[in-house]
């Protein structure tokens, strides 16, 4: 593994302040618009400086033209998908950054879906004055994610996760 494959992931708030940072993440595939990667037991730093380690392997999916990113969490009971409604990502100097817009969707291993943090979204859209166009884009993105899940399309498939997890294990000797 080269240091070129190792990145930090920085989640920001709308005003540019730090929300959370994952320190060691491995890029498994990168195209002009897409980054797919892996982390496991990586150090995470919160905005208030508190640190913790992630507890399960994860495959992440970031797209430059989508207002969401996806983290597939490989848990003992099965794969869960955590979706952040966000800005499209930027990757500069080995730091992948995005703005977190609070709304999250959790898809459990049994297919149960739950929209999370709607109260936080409502609070922050006023506090940070999210433009109406951005609000419409985020609402549209929630619908797009629901449609991908219903159609069982990547990255919301076990085959997608298995493929990238195998590559992570092979590439990085985890």
The per-residue pLDDT for 4 is 66
Query: What does the alpha-carbon distance between residue 86 and residue 166 come to, in Å, rounded to a whole number?
Result: 27
Q: Do residues 38 and 18 make contact, with C-beta atoms less than 8 angstroms apart?
A: no
Region 41-49: mean pLDDT is 97
Domains and CATH numbers, the chain: 3-172 (2.40.380.10)
Query: What does the alpha-carbon distance between residue 107 and residue 76 come to, in Å, rounded to a whole number?
Result: 15
**Averaged confidence pLDDT in the chain:** 95
Q: Are strands 113-116 and 90-92 parallel, antiparallel or unpaired?
A: unpaired
64's CB contacts (< 8 A; 6+ apart) are 32, 33, 34, 88, 89
What pTM was estimated for this model as a whole? 0.94
The per-residue pLDDT for 129 is 97
- Please pick, among 20, 90, 152, 166, the residue that the annotation labels catalytic: 20
pLDDT in tens, 12-35: 999 999 999 999 999 999 999 999
**166 counts as catalytic:** no
pLDDT in tens, 76-87: 999 999 999 999
The band of 174, judged by pLDDT with boundaries at 50, 70 and 90, is: very low
For the chain, the C-alpha Rg in angstroms (whole number) is 16
- For the range 122-131, what are the long-range contacts, defined as Cβ-Cβ under 8 Å and sequence gap of 24 or more? 124/13, 124/14, 128/13, 128/14, 128/15, 130/14, 130/101
Strand partners, 39: 58
């Amino acid at each position: 593994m080269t240091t070129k494959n190792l990145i930090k992931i920085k989640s920001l708030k709308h005003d540019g302040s730090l929300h959370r940072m994952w320190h060691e993440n491995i890029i498994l595939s990168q195209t002009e618009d897409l980054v797919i990667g892996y982390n496991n037991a990586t150090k995470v730093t919160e905005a208030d400086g508190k640190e913790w380690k992630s507890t399960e392997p994860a495959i992440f999916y970031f797209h430059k033209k989508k207002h969401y990113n996806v983290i597939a969490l490989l848990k003992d009971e099965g794969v869960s998908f955590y979706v952040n409604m966000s800005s499209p990502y930027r990757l500069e100097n080995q730091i992948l950054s995005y703005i977190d817009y609070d709304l999250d969707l959790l898809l459990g291993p049994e297919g149960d879906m739950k929209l999370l943090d709607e109260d936080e979204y409502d609070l922050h859209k006023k506090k940070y004055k999210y433009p109406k166009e951005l609000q419409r884009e985020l609402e549209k993105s929630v619908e797009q994610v629901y449609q991908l899940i219903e159609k069982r399309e990547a990255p919301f498939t076990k085959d997608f996760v298995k493929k990238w997890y195998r590559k992570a294990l092979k590439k990085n000797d985890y």
